[in-house]
Structure formats: C-alpha cells, structure tokens
Amino acid sequence: MTAAPGAYDDAHDGPDGARGRHGGDARDLLPTATPARTRAAVRELLRPRRALAWTAFAMMAAATAVGLLTQPLLGHIVDLVTDRREAGALTLPVVLLVAVAAGQGVLTAIGRTMVSRLGETVLAELRERFVERALRLPLDRLEKAGSGDLTARVTRDVSRVAEAVRGALPQLASSVLAIVLTLGALAVLDWRFLLAALLAVPVQAYTARWYVRRAVPLYARERVATGAQQQQLLDTVSGAATVRAHRLEALHAGRVDARSRAAVDLRLRGVRLLMGFYNRLHVAEYLGLSAVLVAGYVLVRDGSASIGTATAAALYFHSLFGPVNVALVLLDDAQAATAGLARLVGVVDAREQAPAGRTGPAEGPRPAVGVSVSGVSHAYEPGRPVLHGVDLELRPKEKVALVGASGAGKSTLAKLLAGIHVPAAGSIDVGGAAPDESGRTVALVTQEVHVFAGRLADDLRLARPGAGDGELREALARVGALGWAEALPEGLDTVVGEGGHRLTADRAQQLALARLVLADPPVAVLDEATAEAGSLGARRLEEAAERALEGRTALVVAHRLSQAAAADRVVVMEEGRVAESGTHDELRAADGPYAALWRAWSAGRAADAEQDAERVAERQAGGTGRSGP
C-alpha cells in the first residue's frame, strides 16, 4: 500500500500545481527548533546517560590535571640549570616528565573513548527519533516542504552533527577543561600571572561574540540554501524527460545555477567570516603572552619569583594557545552542527500523522465501519479551492465508485478520506474518529506503488509483521498473484525491488493489493489503482481489487467505468462538487453527467474493439495470402 506524493490525476489537484510545476521558491519548509528547544532536546538525550557522562568528564579532568604537571617540572629543571646543579639532579624531574606523559596519554584515551561512546549513542537515538517521526509526518506537509528539504536534513545535517559528535565534542571537552585548569595553575604560581593572562580574555570574548552573532544566522541560511539547491536538482533530474520534451533545459539549468550560486555565496561568506575570526584570535594570543612575559620579568627582578616559576607561567600561557584556539575554532563546527541539530529536532518535534500506536494491524476481527463526509472543502493554496462543500456517506461494507473529469477533485477527496491531507473546512468521520486519529482503519492504494528492496516475503510483512508464510500465500492467492510469486527464482524469498528481481507494473500493483489484504483495514481507498496496467492487465487487476475489497467499506477512484458499473453506488464529481450519486443503472437512466461519460466511454471501447477486429482480420488475410502456392 502506498500514498505516493505527487500521484495526482487531477490537473490542478495537488500542491505541485501551485509550487513544484512553477519552480517557485516559496516552499513551506519543515520546522526548525528554537535554540532553547534544541538545548532541551540535548538534555533529554543525555539524561538517561548521566553516569557515563560524569565518568567521561572525570577521566578528561584527570588527564588534564596530570598534564598540567609538565610546566612546573620544566620550570624546576630551569631552576636546577640556573643554580648549576649536578646532572644527576635532573634524573628525577625527567623520569617524572615521562610518567606524566604516559599517565596523561592513558587517561586521555580512556576519557575520549567514553566521550565518543556517549556522543555516538546520543546520535544514534536522535537518528532513530528523526526517522521515526519523519515517517509519521503528514504527507501534505512533506509535499509542501519538498523532498529537497528532507533530503538535506537526512544527509548534510545528520553528517554535520555526526562529525561534531565524533571529532568536535571530545576535543571541545578536553580544551575547556585544559583552559579552566591551566588558569587555576597560573593562579597557584602567582595571582599576578593569572591577572596578566586574563588581559587576553576581553579580546577573545569579543572575538567569540562577534563570530557567533554572525555565524548562527549565516549557517542557518546556508542550510536552507542547500536544501533549496537539492530540491531544484531533484526536480530537474526526476523530471528530465518532461524538461526535454518542453525544451526547458535552459530554464532549469538557470534555476540550478541560481540556487547553486546562492549556496556557494553563503559558503564563501562563511569562509571570510572565519578568516576574520582567526585574525582576531592571533591578536589576543600575542597580547596575553606579552603581558605574562612582562609580569615574569618584573617578578623575577623583584625577587618575587624564580626564573623557573616565570618559565612555567610562560609555558602555561603558551599551552593555552592550543586549547583556546581549538575551543573557539570549534565554534565554527559547533554553529554548523547546532544549525543542523535544530533542523533535526524540529522534525522530531513536528506533529505526527497519527498516534504512536499506529504501528500495525490490530489482532482479531474488525467491525465494519462507515464513512461520513460533511461539508468538506479543501485548497492547496489560498484562493484556489479544489473541493467545495462535499457531502458523502459510505455505508459499512459499501463499495462506492468516484468518477469525473480530470481536475474534478477525486484524488483530493480520496486522500482526505485516507487521512493523508486534513480538510480546510468540514469534517470526515471514519468509524467515529477523524481519519488521522483512526489508527489503521483506512488504507490507501494508489496507481503509483513502491516495491521495497528485499525479499518478497519481507515486502508483504510490512503490512503484517507477524504474518506466517501460509498467510502470505493466502493473501497472494486472493489477488491472483500466488502463481507468479511461487514461480520466481526463489519463490517468496526472491529479492525484489532496487537491485533485485524487477516486477512489472501490474505485478507490483498486485503486491500492493496483497499488502492491503494482510493489513485488513475496515475501510479501503483505491485511487486509480489499476490505471498503470494495459487492458488485459487492468482486467486482472480489477478482479484482484474486487477480491481484496470484499468485506470492506471502499471508495474507488475509477479509471475505467467498468469499475463504476460493478460498484454498489457511483458518485460523480464536477469542479470539486458532487454532481450525482446513485447506482449505475439509476444514473444511466437519469441522462445526466454520468450517462454522458458512459456513452463516451462505451463509444471509445466500441471504436477500440472495431480497430482490434480490423487488425486481426488484416493479420489473418496476410497469413492466408502467404499460405498459397
């Protein structure tokens, strides 16, 4: 079963009519979380892992503290050399330096491993939440946003966050700890060294604020521009045949160029911003180092500190260059990752299609339910309604055929009933609930079906995960597909879909109908589900659909009027309104719109039959002529 976006039979009956086909930029992008909500989401993800987080923090702090013993040991060596002590006096400090290096290395490895483990588990949970919620978003919401926006979030945003978790997070944690503990060590040497070092802080703080205020909106705009670029590429590539047929190559190339330039321009602005950031950092470094050296000179001259102590202070400050630069430079990665994270959290928090319990068919028999459509109107764009005050009743187990000219609103009504879209006005009641609140009560099968890559049995079990092989065969037999399914190279274990055995259009549709049988919903909606097959295949599919719909309330958007003739009732739509409703015989006798459609369809069938007969006669005549002496 599928609810294929863009599978619109109606000429202006879908969001592409207002957006996609005109290539406009005004798409309703998927939501992006606020900074406060993004921080809250991170806290929620970390809360179950508090023990791991604190242990990792302790290991990183211990590694940094051990590493800070290096500078005093070097300062002590300087004092020993200055005092002209014997070479043997250097043995202990050198051994301690080796021990410090080894201890710091071991603790750092343990700490970074734990930080990476923490980050990877959090990232894995975020990915799972994102995919789960993305699959539950209302289809019309995804259609309005465009596939490019979702694709950019799934690929580039997830990649940016993953890179930050794997690289930036451990480095940032280590750098922040090093900065804090090093400043504390400077204070232990002499508070005046700390005061001199802090002269660099105002410049660094200004630099960080200057950068963040510009980087946050810039990276957010870059993410949006990248999504728009990918959307245009997808539109152009997926519609390449249409683009060529209408000679729109130059137009679409221009659109791709414009959106690519916009994305590249924003990226170059980011590079220029980063260069200015580095320049300001260098000024802060040299200002602070000069202040510490001057303070050391004054203190040594006054006898308040030894040369070794001044050396240790200078080394401490110099050792801050790396952590400070890393911490501030990681703001670049952090801003990009934060922008991506906000876009992921925005989808995770978005309103889902149905309650979380809507995961599979309920066990046991389902009661028959009816459908009530009352005063339903709908528009994909303000001021362009496609449905106007539609009223319709479907009795339990009644099969209703929906017919009308292209653009009458048939597909829109079908998708509203299936809960794919939400009506702009009016109400739809399915067994006492709205379509998007009724669990698995309604199932939709469209003319565009998707065969999932994998074993045929696994494809079928998407509709009922616990189904046994016998149930799968029973469902296939019901829709007339068991014969060809068992004739596949490996039967139900044959890999189908992308990279596997390719199914024809009518077989793929039979597979969708078999999934419908397995899901066993009380209400089924078929939106021209047999339209893709040829005449012979269509007859087989119509018979399969009849069997799949047995015992269900059904709304069938009829591609062929033979489906309408077999229905319990026929509803005719014109310009978004119900024009007629009744049985096939009643509407033919009424000599209204349906009767006119029937006459036109019957005449077309008669003409086709006459042409087929003529072709057969010609072939037979040709064969007779060739059989003579």
Looking from the CA of 118 toward its CB, the CA atoms found within 13 Å total 24
Give the per-residue pLDDT at 535: 54
Give the per-residue pLDDT at 621: 61
Q: What tens digit of pLDDT does each residue of 132-178 get?
A: 887 777 777 777 777 677 777 877 787 778 777 777 777 777 788 88
Specify the DSSP class assigned to residue 491.
G
Set out the domains of the chain in order of their start, with CATH numbers: 29-348 (1.20.1560.10), 371-614 (3.40.50.300)
Report residues of the chain scoring pLDDT below 70. Answer: 1-27, 83-84, 147, 331-332, 351-367, 432-440, 529-538, 604-629
Give the per-residue pLDDT at 242: 78
Element (H, E) at 162: helix 158-163
- ∠ CA(391), CA(523), CA(388), 5° rounding? 20
Rg of the chain, C-alpha, whole Å? 35
List C-alpha distances in Å: 421 to 359, 380, 383, 573, 580.
19, 10, 18, 19, 24
Q: What are phi and psi of 263, to 5 degrees?
A: -65, -40
324 class by beta-carbon count within 10 Å (0-12 exposed, 13-18 middle, 19+ buried): buried
Give the per-residue pLDDT at 22: 36
**Residue 558 in tokens:** 């009829």
- Global pTM? 0.59
Give the per-residue pLDDT at 20: 37
Give the per-residue pLDDT at 243: 75
Looking from the CA of 124 toward its CB, the CA atoms found within 13 Å total 6
Q: Reduced to 3 states, what is the DSSP secondary structure of residue 25?
A: coil
Helices and strands of the chain, counted as H and E runs: 22, 11
Instruction: Measure the CA–CA gap between 499 and 471, rounded to whole angstroms.
Output: 26
Instruction: Measure the CA–CA gap between 493 and 456, rounded to whole angstroms.
Output: 6
Q: What tens digit of pLDDT does each residue of 510-569 get?
A: 899 999 999 888 898 988 766 655 555 667 888 888 899 888 899 998 877 888 888 899
